[in-house]
Structure 1
Amino acid sequence: MAKMRGPRKSPGTNKAEVPTTSQTTSPPRLQIDWRRIFIRILMMTGIMVAVYYTKATDLVTFVTQKEEVLSRSVDITCSEDYAQELLHFPGCTPRKCGRVVFDTLVKPSEVAALLNIAKRGLSMGGSTGGASILDLHSGALSHGNAFVNIFKLEEARNLFTEQDFKIYSFVKNKIHKAIVDHFGIEENKLYLTHPTFFSRITPAPPQTVHDEYWHPHVDKETYESFHYTSLLYLTDYSYDFEGGRFIFIDKDSNKTVEPRSGRVSAFTSGSENLHHVERVTKGTRYAVTVSFTCDPKHAISDPVLQR
């Protein structure tokens, strides 16, 4: 996910608990167990760490921060398990698995608006470690070593506006259409899914497993609902922060995506796209993870303003 690791539900369910810091804080509307996903990542690390360290010094830059590309992509053979699963969802199978980057899909004014939403929301909390999330769908907000529901915080009652949610949905729709077109799937067969969230990463040392975002992982193994993953970067590598590059771990070499404000990186969520995020060493990295599923039972609606 660059991407912060979001929550994972228990197998066969769509709900999980979001921890809170006090008994007076109500759970979010869409409950997601953020702790389970971080524990799962750590379990996977033992399997993948050897791959990571043998490739760590063998980096090829897929797209740099200084470049502006209309579209840059690479096709990859789908992993067998991913391909087999998508046989159950006609119209949602990609022409070929892979990854793609778009730099002109989202306008600078839209990026600025989303960054403003992220900063406002995360100002109401934030992890004691370096990794914080804001989920406008469930309300989950990092707060110390746990999570609260931002929609239940009195001080955040008038924090967001209808326009905020309109821009959020408008940009999501752009990304949805770009994925549909690039991978050759039917538009009405691809659904937004959870977790979809804003992330903020700083160099602060981790305090809990929630803060350890840098472990190699496969999205489909981490999030049962994922079939297509996308990230929209809201700040710039080497200007706003150092470290924090998104790295695909391939057999021949690691392929690096340098975050650029407004850059959308999208990829199939199977094990053909094993990846990790470098630790941020300086500054602050903001992004939005927007995830999609082919399974309608995992679909979620756009968030709405709550008062």
Structure 2
Amino acid sequence: DGVTEVLAHRSDNLQDKFMEIPCSEDYDSHKRFEGCTPRKCGRGVTDAVIRREEAERIRRIAERGLSLGGSDGGASILDLHSGALSLGKHFVNVYRYFGDKIRDIFTEEDFALYRDVRQRIQQRIAQVFGISSSALYLTKPTFFSRMNSTAAKTTHDEYWHPHVDKVTYGSFDYTSLLYLSDYSEDFGGGRFMFMDADSNKTVEPRAGRVSFFTSGSENLHRVEKVQWGTRFAITISFTCDPEHGIGDPVL
């Protein structure tokens, strides 16, 4: 693995840590949106945008939703926008599958909190990268993830491979992760790693911590395999292209 540096320890309480890095050429192969498409690239971590108590409430939304299904392997997702939920080796649409019963699981308050958290993360990204928040659009997939040490049953469970978001999902321009559980307390392994040419830079999750970065090859990354416990997070992704925008989830 070579050299590993810790960008953010679990015990740190970071106002806003930011590391600027040169942009890759990935953005050139997509339509440019001036004043939004990254010209300044990098990665940031903050513990000052979402309170721990809010992260715990968001985590309970994830737990309730994921309790309806779950992957046979170690990685389950729930996407409140599309309704996608891991179930065994496949996915179902929770809204279709559970119909009106979904209102027994999620409340309007849940969705209002989700919306509020999304907006605050969007504003922080805009502020740090010097763009207008209104130029950013939520894009898909935006989803909850629950990871544990169960062996993978399908490729969907293999979350640990290095990847570039812009290559995997063309619409992504800015990626954010809100962590909903604590490294070394709720789970072991499962650290987030930026894979740079000279070293790996790790982010140790903690509830309420937001990690955000430009989505191109300048931020090749992976998640370590979870060794024990359960790791919850939500990936919230943004695009500069209104054609790839999605709305907030509605009940």
The TM-score bracket by the shorter chain reads over 0.9
Q: Is the 8 A contact 2:23 2:39 kept in 1?
A: no
Q: Is the 8 A contact 2:37 2:173 kept in 1?
A: no
Please give the per-residue CA displacement for 1:140-197, whole angstroms capped at 9, x wherever unaligned: 0000000111112335452111000000000000000000000011222110000000
Alignment partner, residue 128 of structure 1: 72
Alignment partner, residue 251 of structure 1: 197
For 1:194-273, list aligned pairs within 5 A: 194-273=140-219
For 1:1-307, list aligned pairs within 5 A: 56-82=1-27, 84-85=28-29, 88-94=32-38, 96-154=40-98, 156-305=102-251
Q: Is the 8 A contact 1:86 1:92 kept in 2?
A: no
Q: In structure 1, give the amino acid aligned to 2:247.
A: S
Q: Is the 8 A contact 2:187 2:231 kept in 1?
A: yes
Q: In structure 2, give the amino acid aligned to 1:79.
A: S
SS in 2 for 1:164: helix
Please give the per-residue CA displacement for 1:186-220, whole angstroms capped at 9, x wherever unaligned: 22211000000000000000000000000001000
Structure 2 Cα separation of the partners of residues 85 and 162 of structure 1 = 40
Structure 1 Cα separation of the partners of residues 45 and 172 of structure 2 = 19
SS in 1 for 2:226: coil
TM-aligned CA deviation for residue 252 of structure 1: 1.0
In the alignment, structure 1 segments of 5+ residues that lack a partner are 1-55
Structure 1 Cα separation of the partners of residues 206 and 113 of structure 2 = 20
TM-score by length of structure 1 reads 0.79
Q: In structure 1, give the amino acid aligned to 2:250.
A: V
Structure 2 Cα separation of the partners of residues 71 and 195 of structure 1 = 26
TM-aligned CA deviation for residue 108 of structure 1: 2.1
Question: How well do the aligned residues superpose, as a CA RMSD in angstroms?
Answer: 1.2
Structure 1 Cα separation of the partners of residues 170 and 194 of structure 2 = 20
TM-aligned CA deviation for residue 94 of structure 1: 3.6
SS in 2 for 1:179: helix
SS in 2 for 1:281: strand
TM-score by length of structure 2 reads 0.96
Q: In structure 2, give the amino acid aligned to 1:135.
A: D
Structure 1 Cα separation of the partners of residues 147 and 7 of structure 2 = 22
Please give the per-residue CA displacement for 1:212-244, whole angstroms capped at 9, x wherever unaligned: 000001000000110000000000000000000
Structure 1 Cα separation of the partners of residues 68 and 197 of structure 2 = 42
Q: Is the 8 A contact 2:181 2:232 kept in 1?
A: yes
**Where in structure 1 do 4 or more consecutive aligned residues deviate above 4 Å?**
none
Alignment partner, residue 36 of structure 1: none
TM-aligned CA deviation for residue 85 of structure 1: 4.8
Please give the per-residue CA displacement for 1:57-86, whole angstroms capped at 9, x wherever unaligned: 32111110011110111000000232x257
SS in 2 for 1:210: helix
Structure with more strand by fraction: 2
Structure 1 Cα separation of the partners of residues 235 and 117 of structure 2 = 12
Structure 2 Cα separation of the partners of residues 288 and 128 of structure 1 = 20
Structure 2 Cα separation of the partners of residues 228 and 241 of structure 1 = 27
In the alignment, structure 2 segments of 5+ residues that lack a partner are none
SS in 2 for 1:289: strand
Q: Is the 8 A contact 1:151 1:157 kept in 2?
A: no
